[in-house]
Amino acid sequence: MRIFAIADLHFDFKKEKPMDVFGDNWENHEEKIIENWKNTVDEEDLVLIPGDISWALKLNDALEDLIRIENLPGMKIIGKGNHDYWWSTISQLDRLNLKTIKFLKNNFHNLSLGRSLLSLELARLFEPLFHQSSYSG
């Protein structure tokens, strides 16, 4: 099992906010991400997605993007990004009954990795990255 991380997918099932306004390399970015994901990630792998999943504003609109991610290989742990306006409560997200996606916000998930146990808590895992004053990017 391998662990991958990717953020800022910015999927847009409705095609209302194309990313190619940021340059030609963003043209068909969703298809590029999905194709590379399928060629790289195996079913037993873990993919951490710390946010900005979909441009949708409401959960019903984000559902198509979540289903696309659900159908990709691997187990996914998703956290809320600053553009994830569709994100509602954890209980509403859990009621979607997605089989390969777990949502993480003010909660945790224990994952069994053979004889080891991995515990993930997004707030402590990623929050310090957003508060660094030395970022020069």
Counted domains in the chain: 1
Look at residue 98 in the predicted model and tell me its pLDDT.
93
Please give the DSSP secondary-structure letter assigned to residue 118. Answer: E
In a domain, 119, yes or no: yes
Supply the CATH number for residue 125's domain.
Answer: 3.60.21
Measured in degrees and rounded to the nearest 5, phi and psi for residue 24 equal -60, -30
Look at residue 53 in the predicted model and tell me its pLDDT.
85
Query: What is the per-residue pLDDT across 79-127, written as a single tens digit (0 to 9) for each?
Result: 888 888 888 888 898 899 999 999 887 665 666 655 555 555 544 333 3
Query: What is the per-residue pLDDT across 111-120, written as a single tens digit (0 to 9) for each?
Result: 665 555 555 5
Structure tokens at 105: 């916000």
Q: How confident is the model at residue 134 (pLDDT cuts 50, 70, 90)?
A: very low
In a domain, 54, yes or no: yes
Query: What is the per-residue pLDDT across 7-43, written as a single tens digit (0 to 9) for each?
Result: 888 887 666 666 666 677 767 778 888 899 999 999 9
Radius of gyration of the chain (CA): 15
Q: What is the pTM of this model?
A: 0.75
In a domain, 122, yes or no: yes
Report the relative pairing of strands 46-49 and 116-120 from DSSP bridges: unpaired
In a domain, 137, yes or no: no
Domain containing 102 equals 3-131
Residue with tokens 């390399």: 25
Nearest in space to 119 (alpha carbons), one of 97, 102, 136? 102
How many whole angstroms separate alpha carbon 41 and alpha carbon 73?
6
